[in-house]
Amino acid sequence: MTRAPRRVLMLTAAWPPVARVGGRRPLRLARRLGALGWTPVILTPEPQAVFRAPPRLDPSLDAPPVEVLRVGRTVPSTALHRLLGRLPAARVTRRLLADALLPDQYVEWLPAALLALRRAGPIDAVWATGPPFGVHAVGAALAAAAKAPLVLDYRDPWTVSEVRRRAPHAPPLMRALEARLIRRAAAIIYVADDLRARNRAAFGPAADGPVIPNGFERPGPAPPLRPLRPTLLYAGACYGSRTMRPVLEALAEGFGPGTRGLVLRVFGELDPAARAFLDAHPLPGRVQIEARVDAAELTGHLRGADGLLLLVGDTHHTVPAKLFDYMAAGRPVVGVGPADGAAARVMAECGLGPWCADRLALIAALRSVAARAVPWDPAPDRIRQYSADVMAERVAAALDRAVGRSSND
């Protein structure tokens, strides 16, 4: 006998039309869980309620017809953050405000989220994805209120990350909070092996759980937009160690300016180090920086490019979500970063294209893009393991186990 569908409350900071990368995983899951015995109920803030800066909206994002509970009340710290932006010396004051929140402004979202929970009806499980990791804390409180098992979904590391807050009191307090939430959870899901290993080392067996990578979706019928020049395409922002500077240095050394041949096309924003390099070493005709475009239009550009650029930087413990969009596009990928990282392993496993751990390898890869002959040998069976369908099947199974474990406690 087929059981009645269970209801999972899915907490996510980003949901269409918010175009943040963190919204892709819950969106793709919500499209599929209904066919796997789980009815999604989305709990998400209105963009103006918690985001300190207005997020980019993409009206082309196609949300499934599921129940969505939007919490619209602006949290106090967000309102104060915006007010401080009008004052002199706002940066220091904003940093002090951010350090005072453990872990972030989403903990102030809890009272409104509890009110929304009353509208949701019976809930069989609570699934919360982070970052931001205040969503995990809210998820724990909602799971307790609903008397439902809590499932924590890690897309990035939290307190085991190398990134530390400036305020000395914050790291130990947040480590204690994360440990408490991990002990409270009925199940924990990670997007990468390295992430799970680091949490297990920090928190012990309680932090164990399945690794379920992000999953790609095949694009719709949008035709490829073929550029006239050989094109290496990057979509999104560059930041921190994920800097465009090594690519620009390789372009300057191996190609220089020019209105023919290879072009690097960026739909997004360069990081400060990359902008400084371009100011000192202009590459007119070789680098095109353009505004971001909606997902529907971007799909055509991805499918038409000669190579898709992946920047990993020093944060090589996880696989950037961008790689899964590149898988869906079905074009060669040029990866840049440490050779021992998770993304490099996935690219080698799936035959997605060359990995560049040094300047010479990067120049060679750029020349292969210029010749429209990037070496790649995609393995469909391996690539399918990173599809959104497989991701959803494994998440549904984890939810089933969490409910079963909770029923036996």
Predicted confidence (pLDDT) per residue in 343-395, tens digit: 999 999 999 999 999 999 999 999 999 999 999 999 999 999 999 999 999 99
Mean pLDDT is highest, among 56-60, 74-78, 212-216, for 212-216
- What integer pLDDT is reported at residue 162 of this predicted model? 59
- Rounded distance, CA 104 to CA 134, Å? 6
- What integer pLDDT is reported at residue 333 of this predicted model? 98
Domains (range + CATH), the chain: 6-215+387-408 (3.40.50.2000), 231-384 (3.40.50.2000)
Average pLDDT over residues 9-30: 93
End-to-end CA distance of the chain: 25
Q: Is 91's pLDDT higher than 70?
A: no
126 in helix, strand or coil? strand
Span 301-314, pLDDT tens digits: 999 999 999 999 87
231 in helix, strand or coil? strand
- What integer pLDDT is reported at residue 99 of this predicted model? 67
212, two tokens: 């379920």
User: If pLDDT is split at 50, 70 and 90, which confidence band does 49 have?
Assistant: confident
Average pLDDT over residues 257-283: 95
* Sequence-distant (≥ 6) Cβ neighbours of residue 98 within 8 angstroms: 104
Beta bridge partners of 288: 265
Alpha-carbon dihedral 373, 374, 379, 384, rounded to 10 degrees: -120
Span 110-133, pLDDT tens digits: 899 999 999 888 999 999 999 999
Provide the pairing of β-strand 38-45 with 6-11. Answer: parallel
Phi and psi at residue 266, to the nearest 5°: -115, 120
Average pLDDT over residues 99-110: 81
8, two tokens: 């999972």
Helix (H) or strand (E) holding 308: strand 307-311
Helix (H) or strand (E) holding 215: none
Phi and psi at residue 165, to the nearest 5°: -75, 160
Buried b (16+ CB within 10 A) or exposed e, 89-120: eeeeebeebbeeebbbbbbbbbebbeebbeeb
> Do residues 381 and 266 lie in contact, with contact meaning Cβ atoms separated by under 8 Å?
no
> Which of 340, 289, 295, 334 is closest to 317 using CA atoms?
340
